[in-house]
Amino acid sequence: MGHQLQFYIDGAWVDPLEDRRIDVIDPSTEEPIGQIALGSKRDVDRAVAAAKAAFPRFARTSKAERLDLLRRIVAAYEPRLEELAATVSREMGAPLKLAREVQTPIGLTHLKKMIETLENFEFDTLRGTTMITREPVGVCGMITPWNWPLNQIACKVAPALAAGCTMVLKPSEIAPFNAVIFAEIMDAAGVPKGVFNLVQGDGPTVGQAIASHPDVDMVSFTGSTRAGILVAKAAADTVKRVHQELGGKSANVILSDADFNHAVSRGVMGCMRNSGQSCNAPTRMFVPRDRHEEAVAIAKAAAEPIRVGMPAQEDSTIGPVVSQAQFDKVQGLIEAGIKEGAELVTGGTGRPEGLNRGYFVRPTIFANVSPEMRIAKEEIFGPVLAIMPYDDEAHVVRMANDTPYGLAAYVQSGSIEHARRVAREMRAGAVQINYPAWDSGAPFGGYKQSGNGREYAEFGLAEFLEVKGMIGHGAV
């Protein structure tokens, strides 16, 4: 990786038009590990112009040509897995084991799934004498986050390429180096010039310029709901398509007939994974009121062995949160939980013992949490679990759905029929029953303020396509 201070535009690495830089901080040491250039509106204009010029030709490529391109990207990605894992671990703080086993290969999984999807996808369907055809939406702006960086880059770039779109990517400036490697992969795979473009920068400058640009036909954004609202407002004047995957406050409903040792323990680990920095993390655990104390004891026993440590240490379960701002936010919400009267089961404010530097947070569990508390309402994005008692099934369904978010929900039961019945009541885009294996073909996206549209497989591909009806096309 040798292009940290450059952008990838029109098939070449280029210098920024303005000399502005920002440090990239290792969250485990609070020390800089390098710099990136901060792009300007002029850099975005240059990248969008390249994407616009490349679109007519790329849009006309055949499915076979786009499949061949995706296969070349997979072939170029695989040799860089270890480099990508080390980079992600260092810049966003994921334990190296998690980076190797999940954070990095998940991008490859999306690319492979899109190949499978495209192989079976039909762009044209004849209905009577009307041809329904699906065409690429055009130039796409992509704004991606730092918490699962390669996941979000790949699940936008792969369907856009499969659809025949061209694109400009702005990754998070907090964890940007993995995107540099991704752009090098795209270059090595021979992506046609102008089809994929990378401009580094911050949201108020580069993100705003992409979202408001008149020649960008669609903006796909993943991040906080607050930032998503700003993107939508910036996009409104040009009436472009806005595709968003935003925040979450996911309910984990543990029904009375569940195996509590399994359901509660797995729920704790699901919440704490990636230092709690997952938009679909099961952060609200609902348990029957008469089994609340039992659940609390199991949760405490599950949380206390969690090892918070340096990302490079093999025995670290979780690393730091990503930044000083994130650390301060999490600490503030833990303090709010204590002040508002929630029962602190384990964890609390401050760093774990033995860690005096870095943005490390103590795995924290609150019990007897009531719906009006901030820790029950706000997305914390840290290793903090709220256990909330419920009286009956109708009560838990109301509480689980009583949130402005609707990204994910979880239901645990000893009866699959019981779990299915409750899962249908959840107002969320994805409901996981009894902790299933991850499915790269399932739709991902939310209800309400968790966003609009879906990602992954054919659901993601559809977001990058326009639907055209050609009436009379099939007439004899």
pLDDT tens-digit readout, 211-244: 999 999 999 999 999 999 999 999 999 999 999 9
**What span, in angstroms and rounded, lies between the C-alpha atoms of 139 and 137?**
7
* pLDDT tens string 215-224: 999 999 999 9
Average pLDDT along the chain: 97
Over residues 448-469, mean pLDDT = 98
> Please, is 133 exposed, middle or buried when counting C-beta atoms within 10 Å of its C-beta (0-12, 13-18, 19+)?
middle
Q: Is the per-residue pLDDT at 87 higher than 80?
A: yes
Q: Residue 321 corresponds to which tokens in the numbers above?
A: 């949160």
- The neighbour count for residue 278, using CB atoms within 10 Å, is 21
Over residues 70-99, mean pLDDT = 98
Over residues 469-474, mean pLDDT = 95
Over residues 55-80, mean pLDDT = 98
* pLDDT tens string 354-410: 999 999 999 999 999 999 999 999 999 999 999 999 999 999 999 999 999 999 999
**What pLDDT does 412 receive?**
98
**What pLDDT does 1 receive?**
65
Over residues 307-329, mean pLDDT = 97
**What pLDDT does 302 receive?**
98
b/e 71-105 (16+ beta carbons within 10 angstroms → b): ebbbebbeebeeebbbbbbbbbbbbbbbbbebbbb
**What pLDDT does 363 receive?**
98
CA nearest to 199, candidates 179, 170, 165, 175: 170
Q: Is the per-residue pLDDT at 182 higher than 90?
A: yes
For residue 130, give the H/E element and its range: strand 130-136
What are the residue numbers of the active site?
245, 279
**What span, in angstroms and rounded, lies between the C-alpha atoms of 247 and 404?**
10
Q: How far is CA 317 from CA 22, 42, 276, 280, 311, in A?
A: 30, 43, 12, 19, 9
Question: CB within 8 A of 386, min separation 6: which ones?
Answer: 283, 284, 285, 337, 342, 366, 369, 373, 375, 376
**What pLDDT does 264 receive?**
98
**What pLDDT does 280 receive?**
97
Over residues 259-286, mean pLDDT = 98
- Maximum CA extent, the chain: 79
- Ordered by where they begin, the domains of the chain are 7-246+450-471 (3.40.605.10), 251-439 (3.40.309.10)
**What pLDDT does 474 receive?**
86
**What span, in angstroms and rounded, lies between the C-alpha atoms of 19 and 145?**
24
Pair 228, 471: CB distance under 8 Å:
no
* pLDDT tens string 104-135: 999 999 999 999 999 999 999 999 999 999 99
